Structure 1
Amino acid sequence: MTAATASTRTTGARRGLAATLLARRGAVYLPAAAGPRPDTAPHPLVAAGVTLLELELLDRGWLTAPALRHALTALDPETLAAEGRALLADLDHALGADRDHTPLFRNFPESTPADTVAFYADRVLALLLQAPEQPCVLCGAETTVRALSPCAHLVCAACFDGADFSACPLCHRRIDARDPFLRPERTRRPAHPDRALPARLRVLHHGGDHMVRTADAGRELTTLLGRTGALSPQDTDDLHALLTTRERTELSWLPTAIPARETKARVLAWLLADPAAHPVTIPAATALIDTATDILRLAVALSGGDAGLVAVGRFGPIARPLRRALLAALDRLDPTLAVEDMRRHPREWKHLAERLHAFEYARRYPHATLAVAALRDIRLTDDALSARLRATAAHTPSARADGDRLRLPHWPARVEAALAAADVDTAVALLTRRPGQLLRRLDHLLRLADEDGVETVLTAVREVAGRVSPAVLLSALGALRTRARKGDERVFFPKGGRAQTHIVPEERAPLPAETVTRAVDTLTAEVLRRAGTLPPVELAVVDAALDGLVAPFAERTASRALVTLPRGSELPVPAGRTLRLFLHWTESDTSGVTDLDLSVALFDAAWKYIGTCDYTNLRYADDAAVHSGDLTSAPAPDGSTEFVDLDLDKLAAAGVRYLVTVVFSYNSVPFDLLGDAFAGLMVRDQPGATGPAFDPRQVEQRFDLTSPSNTSVPMVVDVAGGTMRWLDVASGVTGDHHAVHRHADELTTLGHGLTGLFTSGARVGLGELATWQAAARARTVVVRHLDGSRSVYRRRAAEDPAAFAARIGTPATDGTPAPDLATAHLAYLLRGDIPLPRGAEAYALHPADLDPRTVRLLAASDLVTALAGQT
């Protein structure tokens, strides 16, 4: 194994191409090698090395397919060592196993103090009263007190066991690993050899050689470029990794349209990053621009900013050829629509216009100049520029020069005026020009409308629904179907750089049930219509367990995670096992000394706050919840790790119903300033199982903390229900010295509000979406239940997709034996444990044994994007 294959990476670093395809396809690509013939035994060193590699992979929760094992045995010993080391490094990075995970109490959970207050009192007394070369103030022993390095605190080795602590017992900051106080830790008993395999267990397949890898990278790139919504941070990172396999001067891979605006900006910025390729890339890039905001996003991305326009920094210099090309693209647009777009980001556009020097090109690009002048509301005089602007306005429909000002209609203001006047007819007429806005305002319109107005609104919805993006369609459908009953709270997910939520009291009156039903039926029919345009299949399989998952939304703020679980989704906790939460972070030069804290807030069935397990209370109900100790610094390169063990049975006996997990930055250092920060969840064997504090095989989820927030709320655990709900949101807090008990009210509101939202049906479930698509595409649908039973539904004569979809999941089955599921060409699964035929499409939260060479693997976002093809 060569040193060149090992590298140190931070959480925020983009993974390489091999790691990207490993995560997305479960495929390992090996260099073409002249290995042994089928009738020749592999080299003994290779055979032994492959066996050892398989054991290492199993200990991380991965298995090898026979084809991959055969390909590995064909390598020479040196290549096998290099490829194996690189593969393990990528997997360790994905799990977080490439970091040191020593907790404060090295023998956690056994050695966590039973009395947090007494332990704190001893620390305070020793800190305030201990003197050098004096007996210990706690035990009176002599010659046992020494100063630690580098904090210089005086610590008694008799009172504080150096074999158990990994940091200073008084300040909990990391100390020099060579300090004599840190005696060798006691040998921990090995983990139980029969510990369970993780639910995320996946079989790794042989993808082929590096030429095949490039082709597969192209397929994954095509998938990302076809997504209709904003990409998640992980998908954005993968996009850049996949782009490195393409050529800027040969653009046959570039589609004629990229539906997601942020994705388009990032791709165009990548194209234009090399000035040498500008003769080819500038025409190709500007051909994809069709709105003024496209130009702004591109300019921001070229300057290293956020293509989502959440945080726009200073614009960098723009080369003259590109400047002219962007002005030409702006000039092609209708000035009225361009100005409307520009008014959404007026400050940014004014700064960009200065970089583009628009007024210098008034003769060449008159419409672009007119749009910039209208945005800046310049005063017309008798100069040459004003004359040119007046002449352009005179030949531009809907634009005019009114005295010394340019006038262009402002569509949003007209819509707001109509809504304020309760003029439903006018509002609908305006909104039909923007179908997405019509559906976003649908609830408001229905509240304003009388009986005739409702008919007008629903007619308009039927007319424009086919031109709405899938995300807007599903969002409107979910939000509207809960409006026949009075709710208590409204939950918003505002666009921004962090996954924050905004919860307010529900003040809207319910909508009439008949109106809600008609509107929901219209939107559902549109979903089924679009799904029906996809290729038909004979047999589809849907796992009932997908009902707990939510169709993805607000992905631009989703955390990079080991398992891509849509926000709001709920999964069962394996029975009879315990949860171990973990948090790891490493300080950087910009962050300084940083103290992150892993905490759990405990609530009863009425969401009343009843306790905590954090640095202020290391144990709750004896050992129902146990904290590993509060580390208050995390110097590089080792950083620091904290754990919390949760025994759900004992917590239930103590009256706990809900657990809200929280990561606080105690001194309010934002996560994105840290060199490394991630957290996650292990599902461990029966209580009392021993082993290392961090066991890669037991990691079920691992997610990065890279947002500009200082608080993360990853999930809620329903103790009585035995489920975990993935929230992945930030809680807005101010000040510092954060602790759970200081934010109990906010966490109550957050936990109760989000749990209520995701259980109300206000968000379309992934299981629902799978059922709709299966009903629209398949003649036979088989539903697999959690107990292993199957229900068979065959489309009846004259049964339309809506009726078929409504029947799936009900007792109205066809009562016939289930067909062979291995013949299904469409599958929506929790685990990919069905040997599907070549060419099948499959979504699986845990791909398990699905082979990417024969099956088209779908992500949750692909199920949404599939509804965009026929808009």
Structure 2
Amino acid sequence: MTTTTRTTDARTGLRSVAEVLLARRGAVYLPARDGSGPVSPDVLAGVTLLEADLLDRGYVLSAPLREALTVGGPTAMTAAGRTLLADIDRALGADREHTPLFRKFPGSTPHDTTVFYVERVLALLTQHPRQPCVLCEGEGTVHAVSPCAHLVCRRCFDGSDFAACPICHRALSADDPFLLPAPPRAGAGRHGALPERLRVLALGGDMADRQHAAREETGRLLGRTAALSPQDADDLEALLEVCGRAGLDWLPAALPGRETKARVLAWLLRAPGTRAAVLPEVAARLDTATDILRLLIVWSGGDPGLVEVPRLAPVPRPVRRALLGALDALDPALAVADMRRHRALWVPAAHALHPFEYADRFPRAALAVAALRNTRLSHDRFGDTLRTAAEPLTTVDTGGDRPRVRTWGGRVETALAEGDHRRATALLTQRPGELLRRLDHLLRLAGEDTGPVLSALPAAATRVSPAVLLSALGALRSRRQPSGERVFFPKGPQAKAYLADDEREIPAGHAVEAAITTLTEEVLRRAAALGPLDVAVVDADLDGIVAPFAERTASRALVTLPRGSERPLTPGRTLRLFLHWMESEESGDTDLDLSLALFNGAWEHIGTCDYTRLRHTGAVHSGDRTSAPAPDGASEFLDLDLDELERAGVRYAVAAVFSYNDVPFDELPEAFAGFMVRDEPGDKGPVFDPRTVEQRFDLTSAAKSSVPLVLDIPGRTMRWLDVVQGVSGTHHAVHRHVELLAVLGRSLTGLFTSGARVELGELAVWQAAARATTVLLRHSDGSVTPYRRRADEDALAFAGRIGAPEHDPSAGDIGQDPARIGAAFLVRGDVPLPAGCPVYALHPAGLDAAVVRLLTASDVVNSLAHGGPTAD
């Protein structure tokens, strides 16, 4: 079965609807066909070949899908198979050529990088045409290569091994005589274990079923309270096109995610033909001034998080009137307070809306903008109109020549500055989200008088979003044993981590514990509101996976793993990191470098493996590619022998990607990296084996460095960091940044092991304990420990007992009666489940989205929004 290739734009990560549903549901949708008549032998042979090709990529056909592919002629089957393989190859990164500098890598990687470098320099500086080679003294062996024109000895440098110029490592013309055919790699075609991410592809149905599935996925994304990840945002854009603008029965009356709301409403307004029809629906969903601002920014092509703000695009008059009408419906005091938070953005936004032009029609909107701009009110028609609008409002004073607004935020800041925690708490109860965000500050300010704060907390906790609730809970837990260091992930277009000394006082211990209990009980209350269950299954191995609630800068990845999550590595197998990129004419020659920094248990640097040192004990680099012209681009690899690294005293290995010549990743047509887990040692098997790919992620930010992961070598674990490191200048190399990488690795590892981030395993146990009569805890060896809720046991006590040695053997196991299972939280979807059962599985495996309700990690978090009214 041959595959088709296409250009991937790593800067957007856009996928077709078929790819979206394949990735999110593991489902394939085929045109409806008549199933009557015998099956052609050619079709059966083609499906068999397709199955083999899919297995080579870590996918398996389900029986219904295989049968559906056999219906119809060979042309239809071939088209469906090619499309499916192309979609999978794009997701894995297998739609690109992956050729390392040393094509016989790792066997042919030089053992002495210095000697290799000296030989290259000698050849560059002293080699002359039509003269004997300066290295081997051979005659007639020195020739210029194209297009760099470096003089290369064909005896000293093996053209069957080098995939680029041996001197400058830039790509050569494909027809250059130096490039000799490479011998086939030993062991090619042999396969070891199947990947952890193995997935059974299900038959989703026909095109009508695809429409229904697209609407279901759209509804889930629109129901999220937190900001969408870049991949989810791209998927939503593709799904919206399927939903269409003609009928809006798919559009919820309330859109809880503020940034998602801006995306959807801007999308609705983009089509001029339906704009008039959708304007009332758009205006009805704008209930804050920032909603209007976000909509204007997204309308202009910017980011709804108000991070990347373009010049505002012109706004048509009907849209302008609708937005001013929404602003006019707000309390001017609340609108002004909202607008002042983003004053620099609102000033040009107000100019684009022309509110004073419509002062007679929308006087409260004009009043809010006048207060924001501190506009002088003359005694004319305009000023009188605004004064009349302000008369019934107690928070707006127009007695002077300028409108004055008494804002809630100013009163809160005054109370905090004066140390009046009681007054501050009373004010913050009006906005529960702010109370929880400032909870640590209030407890410190209160000293021993924490009663008012703790009394206000239960009611406030019921009204916040899951992200705010879990964030506050994690932040308080980390105060039990302060590390003396704070880690910040400020809002921005890139996932940057900032470190600072923690100079805060420690709140009273009893208050911290009381607040933690209150917040945990609120999580349990919300979970219980989802309804009772008979049996819930929880995988103990979910511990270490962080519950996501801030995914705005998460990388687009094959396996969605929240930042900070830790996963075990399979012992005894080779870990191969890979990097691929392609430069554009605008970016010119672009050199990305795959690098590894090695540290001991005290985070002291003990070695590197990158283009400056191609071999380190237990690590081998594939060689430095210094250009990546289209269409093939360039690839680098790095093999890790974990056992050998451990014997060499390595505790931590930090992987990094640097842009050597300072070209930002987002200026490249494509750039992605990832890792494979291989059974074949050394140079056995293909260099890039799609079957062994366990993770693949895009490099799409404006950064020039990326730190995707850190490995704990003795612990055989991988922690997913997915952050960028700020660099400046050019000639970036890992040895220049080892101190910063050590601080970053140590600090982030400390943060994510401190309890500052609620883990998905905890959340699963809390949900199970709050809802189920029996909880089955499944362990990595396949054994199951059952726990049954006692008659007098509340959810908090039951949750605390799950995982303890004391259990109830008579509670049963998974295999006794799968129909009793009402929810499951799994690492692998290999548990028999009843139809309609909601299930989270990091690796869905054989779970069919048409049978069970597949949940993402974000869905698990977002389900807590339905346990009561929420507010940010």
TM-score by length of 2: 0.98
* Counterpart residue number, 1:634: 628
- Residue in structure 2 matching 1:315, options 307, 312, 315: 312
- Residue in structure 1 matching 2:784, options 762, 782, 790: 790
Tell me the alpha carbon deviations over residues 801-835 of structure 1, each in whole angstroms, 9 at most, x when there is no partner: 11111111111211225333423121000000012
2:858 is equivalent to residue 861 of structure 1: yes
* Counterpart residue number, 1:24: 24
SS at 2:810 equivalent: coil
- Residue in structure 1 matching 2:587, options 574, 578, 591: 591
- Residue in structure 2 matching 1:331, options 328, 337, 356: 328
- Residue type matched to 1:9 in 2? T
- Residue type matched to 1:18 in 2? A
Worse-superposed segment, 686-695 or 511-520: 686-695
Worse-superposed segment, 369-378 or 128-137: 128-137
Tell me the alpha carbon deviations over residues 560-606 of structure 1, each in whole angstroms, 9 at most, x when there is no partner: 00000111111111111010000000012332211100000000011
Tell me the alpha carbon deviations over residues 349-380 of structure 1, each in whole angstroms, 9 at most, x when there is no partner: 11111111111011100000011111111122
- Residue type matched to 1:285 in 2? V
Q: Judging changes above 3 Å, is the alpha-carbon distance between structure 1 residues 13 and 570 closer, same or farther for their aligned structure 2 residues?
A: closer
- Give the conservation status (yes or no) of the 8 Å contact 1:499–1:728: yes
Tell me the alpha carbon deviations over residues 469-515 of structure 1, each in whole angstroms, 9 at most, x when there is no partner: 10010010011012122313111111000011111122223333211
- Residue in structure 2 matching 1:268, options 250, 265, 270: 265
- Residue in structure 2 matching 1:819, options 809, 813, 834: 813
Distance (whole Å) between structure 1 residues aligned to residue 589 and residue 390 of structure 2: 59
Post-superposition offset of 1:135: 1.5
Post-superposition offset of 1:347: 1.6
* Counterpart residue number, 1:106: 103
2:19 is equivalent to residue 7 of structure 1: no
2:711 is equivalent to residue 711 of structure 1: no
* Counterpart residue number, 1:203: 200
Distance (whole Å) between structure 1 residues aligned to residue 134 and residue 578 of structure 2: 35
Tell me the alpha carbon deviations over residues 14-59 of structure 1, each in whole angstroms, 9 at most, x when there is no partner: 110000000000001111111245xx4x111100000000000000
2:603 is equivalent to residue 610 of structure 1: no
Distance (whole Å) between structure 2 residues aligned to residue 712 and residue 495 of structure 1: 17
- Residue in structure 1 matching 2:692, options 694, 698, 704: 698
* Counterpart residue number, 1:512: 508
Distance (whole Å) between structure 2 residues aligned to residue 789 and residue 81 of structure 1: 43
* Counterpart residue number, 1:620: 616
2:576 is equivalent to residue 577 of structure 1: no
Within 5 Å, which residues of 2 pair with 1:224-235?
Answer: 224-235=221-232
- Residue in structure 2 matching 1:758, options 748, 752, 755: 752
Distance (whole Å) between structure 1 residues aligned to residue 435 and residue 321 of structure 2: 36
- Residue type matched to 1:614 in 2? D
Tell me the alpha carbon deviations over residues 270-324 of structure 1, each in whole angstroms, 9 at most, x when there is no partner: 1111111122200001111100111111111111111111011111111111110
Post-superposition offset of 1:394: 2.3
- Residue type matched to 1:619 in 2? R
- Residue in structure 2 matching 1:669, options 663, 668, 681: 663
Post-superposition offset of 1:126: 1.0
- Residue type matched to 1:21 in 2? L
SS at 1:584 equivalent: strand
- Gaps (5+ residues) in structure 2? none
* Counterpart residue number, 1:465: 461
* Counterpart residue number, 1:772: 766
- Give the conservation status (yes or no) of the 8 Å contact 2:535–2:774: yes
Post-superposition offset of 1:85: 0.3
Distance (whole Å) between structure 2 residues aligned to residue 389 and residue 24 of structure 1: 52
Distance (whole Å) between structure 2 residues aligned to residue 348 and residue 249 of structure 1: 32
- Gaps (5+ residues) in structure 1? none
Distance (whole Å) between structure 2 residues aligned to residue 640 and residue 468 of structure 1: 48
* Counterpart residue number, 1:350: 347
Worse-superposed segment, 679-688 or 215-224: 679-688
Distance (whole Å) between structure 1 residues aligned to residue 503 and residue 2 of structure 2: 65
Worse-superposed segment, 51-60 or 812-821: 812-821
2:42 is equivalent to residue 48 of structure 1: no
Worse-superposed segment, 549-558 or 576-585: 549-558
Worse-superposed segment, 133-142 or 383-392: 383-392
Distance (whole Å) between structure 2 residues aligned to residue 6 and residue 511 of structure 1: 58
Q: Judging changes above 3 Å, is the alpha-carbon distance between structure 1 residues 2 and 150 closer, same or farther for their aligned structure 2 residues?
A: closer
* Counterpart residue number, 2:678: 684
* Counterpart residue number, 2:130: 133
SS at 2:389 equivalent: helix
Post-superposition offset of 1:668: 1.3
- Residue in structure 1 matching 2:178, options 173, 181, 184: 181
- Residue type matched to 1:761 in 2? G
Distance (whole Å) between structure 1 residues aligned to residue 429 and residue 441 of structure 2: 15
2:405 is equivalent to residue 411 of structure 1: no
Distance (whole Å) between structure 2 residues aligned to residue 402 and residue 832 of structure 1: 67
Post-superposition offset of 1:688: 3.7
- Give the conservation status (yes or no) of the 8 Å contact 2:666–2:700: yes
Worse-superposed segment, 592-601 or 376-385: 376-385
- Give the conservation status (yes or no) of the 8 Å contact 1:493–1:554: no
- Residue in structure 1 matching 2:648, options 651, 654, 663: 654
* Counterpart residue number, 1:841: 838
- Residue type matched to 2:6 in 1? S
Distance (whole Å) between structure 1 residues aligned to residue 346 and residue 29 of structure 2: 45
Post-superposition offset of 1:415: 1.7
2:730 is equivalent to residue 740 of structure 1: no
- Give the conservation status (yes or no) of the 8 Å contact 1:842–1:858: yes
Distance (whole Å) between structure 2 residues aligned to residue 197 and residue 205 of structure 1: 18
TM-score by length of 1: 0.98
Tell me the alpha carbon deviations over residues 56-80 of structure 1, each in whole angstroms, 9 at most, x when there is no partner: 0000000111111111111311100
- Residue type matched to 1:649 in 2? D
Distance (whole Å) between structure 1 residues aligned to residue 48 and residue 684 of structure 2: 26
Post-superposition offset of 1:389: 2.2
- Give the conservation status (yes or no) of the 8 Å contact 1:543–1:783: yes
- Give the conservation status (yes or no) of the 8 Å contact 1:619–1:627: yes
- Give the conservation status (yes or no) of the 8 Å contact 2:8–2:669: no
Moved over 6 A (4+): none
- Give the conservation status (yes or no) of the 8 Å contact 1:484–1:512: no
- Residue type matched to 2:24 in 1? R
2:720 is equivalent to residue 726 of structure 1: yes
Post-superposition offset of 1:783: 0.1
* Counterpart residue number, 2:65: 68
RMSD of the alignment, in Å? 1.3
Distance (whole Å) between structure 1 residues aligned to residue 170 and residue 683 of structure 2: 29
Q: Judging changes above 3 Å, is the alpha-carbon distance between structure 1 residues 255 and 832 closer, same or farther for their aligned structure 2 residues?
A: same
- Residue type matched to 1:594 in 2? T
- Give the conservation status (yes or no) of the 8 Å contact 2:591–2:628: yes
- Give the conservation status (yes or no) of the 8 Å contact 2:190–2:685: no
- Residue in structure 1 matching 2:431, options 434, 454, 466: 434
2:389 is equivalent to residue 392 of structure 1: yes
2:290 is equivalent to residue 293 of structure 1: yes
Post-superposition offset of 1:516: 1.3
- Residue type matched to 1:155 in 2? V
Distance (whole Å) between structure 2 residues aligned to residue 129 and residue 714 of structure 1: 41
Post-superposition offset of 1:608: 0.5
Post-superposition offset of 1:2: 11
2:482 is equivalent to residue 483 of structure 1: no
- Give the conservation status (yes or no) of the 8 Å contact 2:495–2:722: yes
Distance (whole Å) between structure 1 residues aligned to residue 399 and residue 498 of structure 2: 43
* Counterpart residue number, 2:81: 84
SS at 1:244 equivalent: helix
Q: Would you say how many aligned residue pairs link Structure 1 and Structure 2?
A: 864
Post-superposition offset of 1:429: 1.2
Distance (whole Å) between structure 1 residues aligned to residue 524 and residue 25 of structure 2: 29
SS at 1:330 equivalent: helix
Post-superposition offset of 1:13: 4.1
Tell me the alpha carbon deviations over residues 687-736 of structure 1, each in whole angstroms, 9 at most, x when there is no partner: 34611110000000000000111111000000010000001011111111
